[in-house]
Structures are given as structure tokens and as C-alpha cells.
């Protein structure tokens, strides 16, 4: 009898965004005249920058001629892009990487989802809480999460590290030692960041405890402050304990084009069952060459264009466009007396709901009274209860309109 | 102590293509004047068809304007493409599918590699032999292959079903019952096909034995003969036992663009540990929504263009271009007295080496005496020994030149 992977059955249906949709649909039906503004999902609204569009057209033309046509590319990505990444994203910040430590992919979500392939099912997982649900869900699928506790919110085998206003969203080192630690900074959903010394504490912990850090830096491009590391490899010896995931989705609006990359340093070695140390770079290379066939050539050319002087300028403009939204939103929310976090070096604003409102209650009131959609914090994990996520990725005009509604809001 | 997935260590380094490369490099060094022709790798050489190039440009333009920009798409693919697939690839052949049974991806290799995610590690795997190495390697990684036998060619837990000239490359039903059966038709590497009644035998076997067929139809577009099924779903009740993988790589030259799709019928149900039947479509949907973020929008628009009247005409021209190569190669190889298979409904020609030459010996002689590179059959599995793969994917001029060398070859 052929059998499924039973771990999949443990995973409850994900209702967050479908529940939001249902509520919005119901509201629309009863208020057909209302103009609803969505500051909920983490998708971008700005078009792809002109210099990237040019690069795409030019790569498309190459594919139409026999002399310049490209078939299968390297599964690890083209060196023209790997070199630009090494030079601009790392060397410019004092981090030395070899091009074969950089694996181009169709996006960070795929890599974050697939990284578990090369890791033992026995590893104990830790996540900060609230958290990007993919970290938890993929470990449920992989058989590392245990069972859902009676509270319906915690998995028995996962270590949750709460990040709330009580610890100013700086995660404490865990009481119980994890094998694998997911860190995401700038953070989704809280929009908060770690200072260099705060991240250093985690790298030191991983070095001392033989733990692996999976560092998600998808929102790195939104960092303005100088003392916030863009890459975990800015921390000494981090190459020995960390894999870093990067995305062009938020940096350059590639959510629909699909490109990201993962750094697996050659000095990162972890143990096999016998205790022998194994080079993780080789394992990931084997995974990618066996189960992946490279990222679309034209999209890799598009990503390359981000690193041209004109490209850098144009994507910076988009980032500033979103960060202006963030500032406007922050000011407005503060003015009506809300306590909030993030939004300075990240496109997310994490609002503490007033008067102990539940995050769903806050959602309902914001929708009903301001016709604005956001995301209830509880959707990101138990410590998200009592919080609410708003994003800066909307159109400027919509954000301004949202603010004009919020500023008169009687909460 | 964080641990790797030890199954990865069982996998020997894949030396096939690197060994070929070494031999070619050595030959070039000692024969700098020789013009080497490669009929080895399975990559295409024809550029992308004009109507597809047009669709790409138009989709790129959409991404450059705020009104037409597209961010995250559905993880399962856009309905505009799903609908074209359902209509043209299936309904036109009498197969009814719903659009939500079709999952668009960045290529068949990814899906074939990832399908094991949703299946138990306890399943017993069967492959035809010789075979596309990804089927075996991904099961080694997943812990389903056991250990490598002393012969260095067979995995202890995998059932090998030999396909050789003795059974005219029609696989016999296995003596031992497998849970999962990989079938690839038209076949890579042998270029052979199964008639409807031959494939029916396998579907009936799977129905009777509660086995799952993973059907790889990447080369479907090369089928000319009427009695050869293009899809396994042309066989009655196959939807209850089979997942089908499709690729635009060979159909339309998308090896560098990256797009394919996987069909998971909703009537396909397999058991969990308790014996309860589970809808596989839902599991794959959960896998894709959690570990994948959709295929590039512009590439999906390119794939859509394949199904336009002009698109169909243009990709048919490319397929005929390659099949002309196949015919020329076949005639020439037959004329010099070689026994060969495939090449009628597939872009691969499977040559039986003469005088019991090993497949590597044949490789050496073809390289040294004709300056032509092919692929030794042993690289595809133990039953590939004594065979050799040539592909029709070369340029016409190169194929003609190769033929002029082969026809005077004294084997």
C-alpha cells in the first residue's frame, strides 16, 4: 500500500488569509460604497524599475536568436550574477565570499522551504515568535514539530522565543538548546531589527552550542541605520554557523519575476550521525543540482541590472517611496496614541492594539470604522496576539488616504 | 549537535558528465585542430519561437507600469495558463481535467525532485532501467533507496525493471510489488515509447496493487504515431493512480526560461498510516503553497503563447527540425550496421554498441575516431551498459557533419 507523508496531516489548514478575505468580502457586500484600502499583504505595488525592464527586453531578444540563445544554465546560477552579488551585497560591507558560496534560485521561499532536505529530522528547531509561518509549517511537514499542543498554538517539539514589547522585540537566548535557529532581520512581521551586538550574541551562542542559524535577510534593503548589520556574515565567525537567505522580491519588486539567493559558506560544517563534520555547501549543491534546474536566464539578467549604478539608484527610489509610506503611517498612528514598533528599517509596522483588544477585534474595528485591511498578529504565532501588522507596500495615494481616515479614528 | 540528513552521504558523486568533460578536454588538448560535435547532452539549440518572444516582451512591458504590474501570483500558476493546458494538452485528447488539478512550476525537474515530500519514506520504489538519474538520486536523499550494493550499480531497496533489446524496451511487470513506480514515456534515455495497451497494463497493475505511478511525459511533443498515448490519463482510470509531469523545455525550448507543470488529479487518493485515503491533490497544493511562490509571470505568459495557433505552428517547426536530425542520424547509423532504438517518437537514439563494446569504450572510439561526443548508456543505470545515447537536439549543420563522419567510420 503506497503511503503519504503523514506529517502533512498534522498541519491544520491555514485560515489566516482566507479568513481575512471572508471578512472583507462580507463587509463589501454590506457596504458596497466603501473604498477599502489594503495595508495587509506583503506584496509590492511599484512597477519594475526601467533599467531592469531594459535588461529583461535585451535578454528576451537574446533568447530569440540561435547565436545568443541560452538553454540550461548552471543550477547554481550564472556567474555574472553571483559575481555582482559577492561584490555589492557582501564585499562592499567587508564580507568576503566566493561565488560558489552563492546559490541563485527562484526565490527565498523555495530555499527556506527546501533547506530542511539536507538536515536531519532529529534536529530541534527554534523560532522567534511571532514568525513567518513558512519556518514552522515546513518543519511540521518534515516531521520535526511534534504534535500541536492543546492550546492550538504551539507545536510540542518547537522552541518558541517570544519577541514582544516586554523584551523590546530582542529575542532572549533560549533556555533549552536548539539545533536549528530561524532568525529573520529586519523582521517579518514586527519590522524590528537587531543591532550588531545583539546579533553577535546569537552567533556566539550558535558557535558555543553547535547550532545552525538560518538567517532570513529578505528585507535587508530597507535598513538605513548604520549599526544594523545587513548580513549575518558581518558578525565574526558567522560563516561557521549560518546560512543566509536573500530575496529580490522586496529589494527590487521581483515578487512576480521570482529570484533570490542563498549563501552557504564553505566553512560551515555540521555533523553526520557518526559525529564527522560535513561541508554543508556540498550538500546544498547536491540538492540543487538534483532537484532544481536553475533560475530563468532572463530573470537572472534582470537581477544583474539591479547592481548597475542606474539600477541601484532606481531601486533606492522605490525603497524610499515605501519608507515614506512607513513614516507617514507611523506618525499618524502615534498621533492617535497607538504604541507601535518597526517601520524605521523595515517595511512593516507592528501596532500594539489598545485596551487589550485582540488582534482580530482590532482587525474588525479597522475594517468597519476606517475601511482599512491589515493583518492580525495572532496569524504569525501566539506572541502576535495583541498586535497588528500594517505594511508600507501600498501605493502612496492609498497610504495618504488611509492616514486621513485613521487620524480621525476614535479608538 | 545539529545534524545533516545522512542519506546525502550515501549518494556517490555523480561523475558521468564530469568524466565526459575530462575526456573531451584531454582529447582537445592533444588534438587542437579537431572540431568536436556534441550529440551528448539533452539541451536544445533552437531559439525561442517568435510568437513566444513577442509574448515575453509584452509581459515585460506590463511589469514596467503600475497599472499592469503583477506581484505575487498564485503558487499553483495563473488560470490563463492552466486553462490553455487543460484545453489543449488534455481535452483535445479526450481527457477531462479541472484547472486546479494542474500545478504550474519552474520545471519538471523541480516537481519530480520535490514530489517525494508528500510521500512516506516507507514506500518501496521501482524504476525502469536505464533511467533518468534524478528518480533514483532523489529517493536516495529521501531515505528510500537502502544502501549501494557491492556491484556499485544497484541500490538495495530499489526495484529495477530492465528495459533492453531482449524485451524490446517494454518493461515487464515487477516480480516484487512496488508502492511507487516511475515511468518515463517517450523514454529518456532509450527514446522508446509504450503503446496504449502496454501502458494500460501498468495502470491496471497500479489499480490492482495500490501503487502510485509517477509518469514523466517531458518528451510528449515528439510523439507522431497515433497509437502512442501522450498522457497517461488517456488510459481509463489512470487518474486514480497517476501523477503526470510535463515540461515546456523540449516542447518549446524552455530549458533556459524554466516552466513545466504537474497534474495531480483530485480522484487520486492514497493511504495514510491508519489506512485512511487522502486526496493527494490537497497535499501537493499544501506543499506548493508552503515551499514555492509561483512561476515567473513573464514565463507563464510565454508558455501561454505556445498554445496560440501561431505558437503551435512555430513549435511544431522546431520539433520537426529536431526529428529531421533524428531521421538522418538513424539512417546513417543503420547504414553502418549498428542496431538502434528510439528516435521515431522521441529525440533520443539508443545505440547498441557493436561487438559487446562497453558503453565507455564506444564513447572513446566515437570521440577519437569521429570527434563526436555522446553519452555512455551505463550512466543511466546498470541495464544501460552496452548502449549509447545520441540526441537529435544538435544544430542541423552539425548533425549533417556528424553523419558525414560516421558514414565512413570503420567500426
B16 at A interface, C-beta within 8 A: no
Measured between beta carbons, the chain B residues lying within 8 angstroms of A296 are: 106, 256-258, 296, 299
pLDDT of residue A205: 98
Cell 507563464, located at residue: B300
For A328, the 3-state DSSP assignment is helix
Chain B residues with CB-CB distance to A287 below 8 A:
8, 141
Residues of B in contact with A257 (CB under 8 A): 63, 296-298
Look up cell 550515501; give the residue: B10
Give pLDDT, residue B17: 83
Name the minimum distance, in Å, from the CA of B138 to any CA of chain A: 7
- Cell of residue B411, nine digits: 567500426
Output the CA–CA distances (angstroms, integers) from residue B312 to A245, A327, B218, B303, in the order listed: 40, 51, 17, 11
Candidate from A3, A14, A107 with C-beta closest to B293: A107
**pLDDT at site A305:** 98
Query: Chain B window 195-214: which residues touch A at a Cβ cutoff of 8 Å?
Result: 210-212
Question: Exposed, middle or buried: residue B320 (CB in 10 Å: 0-12, 13-18, 19+)?
Answer: exposed
DSSP assignment of A141-194 equals HTT-S--B-TTSS-BTTEEEEE-SGGGTT-PPPPSSPPSEEEEESS-TTT----
User: In the sheet where A375-376 sits, what is the strand order?
Assistant: A339-342, A348-352, A387-391, A375-376
CB proximity A262 to B under 8 Å:
no
**Cα–Cα distance between B208 and A201 in angstroms, integer?**
59
Sort out which chain B residues have CB atoms less than 8 A from A141's CB and list them: 117, 286-287, 290
Residue A76 to residue A74: CA distance in whole angstroms:
5
Instruction: State the best of B209, B256, B280, B289 to mutate against chain A, taking most chain A CBs within 10 Å.
Output: B256
This model of the complex carries an ipTM of: 0.97
Cβ of B43 within 8 Å of Cβ of A297? The answer is no
CB-closest option in A118, A122, A255 to B72: A255
Residue A17 is predicted with a pLDDT of: 83
User: Quick check: A46 and B66 CB within 8 A?
Assistant: yes
**Least CB–CB distance from B118: residue in A4, A14, A137:** A4
Single pTM value for the model: 0.97
Check if B273 contacts A (Cβ < 8 Å): yes
B77 touches chain A (CB under 8 A): no
Which regions in chain B score pLDDT beneath 50? none
A33–B contact, CB cutoff 8 A: no
pLDDT at A411: 82
User: Which DSSP state fits B263?
Assistant: E
Q: Are A238 and A211 in contact (CB under 8 A)?
A: no
Nearest residue of B to residue A177, measured between CA atoms: B1
Point out the residue among A69, A141, A255 whose CB comes nearest to the CB of B290.
Answer: A141
CB pairs under 8 A between A and B: 258
Sign of CA dihedral A91, A94, A100, A101: negative
**Tens-place pLDDT, residues B278-317:** 999 999 999 999 999 999 999 999 999 999 999 999 999 9
Quick check: B69 and A141 CB within 8 A?
A: no
CA distance linking residue A334 with residue A338, whole number of Å: 5
Q: Is A293 close to B258, i.e. CB distance below 8 A?
A: yes
A1/chain B closest Cα distance in angstroms: 5
What tens-digit pLDDT sequence spans chain A (411 residues)?
999 999 999 998 877 888 899 999 999 999 999 999 999 878 999 999 999 999 999 999 999 999 999 999 999 999 999 999 999 999 999 999 999 999 999 999 999 999 999 999 999 999 999 999 999 999 999 999 999 999 999 999 999 999 999 999 999 999 999 999 999 999 999 999 999 999 999 999 999 999 999 999 999 999 999 999 999 999 999 999 999 999 999 999 999 999 999 999 999 999 999 999 999 999 999 999 999 999 999 999 999 999 999 999 999 999 999 999 999 999 999 999 999 999 999 999 999 999 999 999 999 999 999 999 999 999 999 999 999 999 999 999 999 999 999 999 988
What's the gap in Å between the CA of A251 and the closest CA on chain B? Answer: 13
CA distance A410 to A404: 13
Question: Is A288 within 8 Å of B135 (Cβ atoms)?
Answer: no
Amino acid at each position: 500500500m503506497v503511503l503519504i507523508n503523514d506529517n502533512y496531516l498534522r498541519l491544520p489548514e491555514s485560515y489566516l488569509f482566507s479568513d481575512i478575505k471572508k471578512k472583507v468580502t462580507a463587509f463589501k457586500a454590506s457596504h458596497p460604497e466603501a473604498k477599502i484600502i489594503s495595508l495587509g499583504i506583503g506584496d509590492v505595488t511599484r512597477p519594475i524599475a526601467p533599467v531592469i525592464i531594459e535588461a529583461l527586453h535585451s535578454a528576451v531578444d537574446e533568447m530569440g536568436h540561435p547565436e545568443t540563445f541560452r538553454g540550461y544554465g548552471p543550477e547554481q546560477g550564472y556567474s555574472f550574477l553571483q559575481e555582482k552579488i559577492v561584490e555589492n551585497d557582501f564585499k562592499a560591507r567587508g564580507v568576503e565570499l566566493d561565488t560558489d558560496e552563492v546559490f541563485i534560485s527562484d526565490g527565498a521561499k523555495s530555499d527556506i522551504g527546501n533547506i530542511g532536505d539536507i538536515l536531519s529530522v532529529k534536529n530541534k528547531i527554534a523560532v522567534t515568535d511571532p514568525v513567518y509561518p513558512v519556518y514552522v509549517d515546513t518543519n511540521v511537514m518534515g516531521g520535526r514539530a511534534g504534535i500541536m499542543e492543546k492550546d492550538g498554538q504551539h507545536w510540542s517539539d518547537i522552541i518558541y522565543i517570544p519577541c514582544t514589547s516586554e523584551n523590546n522585540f530582542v529575542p532572549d537566548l533560549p533556555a533549552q538548546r536548539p539545533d536549528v535557529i530561524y532568525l529573520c532581520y529586519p523582521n517579518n512581521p514586527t519590522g524590528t531589527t537587531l543591532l550588531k551586538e545583539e546579533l553577535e550574541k546569537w552567533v556566539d551562542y550558535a558557535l558555543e552550542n553547535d547550532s545552525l542559524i538560518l538567517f532570513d535577510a529578505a528585507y535587508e534593503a530597507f535598513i538605513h541605520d548604520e549599526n544594523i548589520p545587513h548580513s549575518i556574515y558581518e558578525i565574526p565567525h558567522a560563516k561557521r554557523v549560518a546560512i543566509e537567505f536573500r530575496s529580490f522580491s522586496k529589494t527590487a519588486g521581483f515578487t512576480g519575476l521570482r529570484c533570490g539567493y542563498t549563501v552557504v559558506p564553505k566553512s560551515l560544517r555540521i555533523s553526520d550521525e557518526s559525529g564527522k563534520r560535513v561541508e554543508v555547501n556540498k550538500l546544498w549543491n547536491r540538492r540543487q543540482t538534483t532537484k532544481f534546474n536553475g533560475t530563468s536566464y532572463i530573470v537572472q539578467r534582470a537581477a544583474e541590472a539591479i547592481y548597475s549604478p542606474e539600477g541601484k539608484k532606481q531601486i533606492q527610489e522605490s525603497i524610499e517611496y515605501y519608507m515614506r509610506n512607513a513614516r507617514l503611517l507611523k506618525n499618524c498612528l502615534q498621533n492617535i496614541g497607538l504604541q507601535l514598533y518597526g517601520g524605521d528599517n523595515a517595511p512593516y509596522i507592528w501596532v500594539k492594539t489598545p485596551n487589550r483588544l485582540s488582534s482580530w477585534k482590532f482587525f474588525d474595528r479597522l475594517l468597519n470604522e476606517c475601511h482599512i485591511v491589515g493583518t492580525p498578529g495572532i496569524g504569525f504565532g501566539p506572541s502576535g496576539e495583541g498586535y497588528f501588522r500594517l505594511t508600507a507596500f501600498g501605493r502612496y495615494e492609498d497610504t495618504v488616504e488611509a492616514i486621513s481616515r485613521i487620524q480621525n479614528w476614535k479608538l
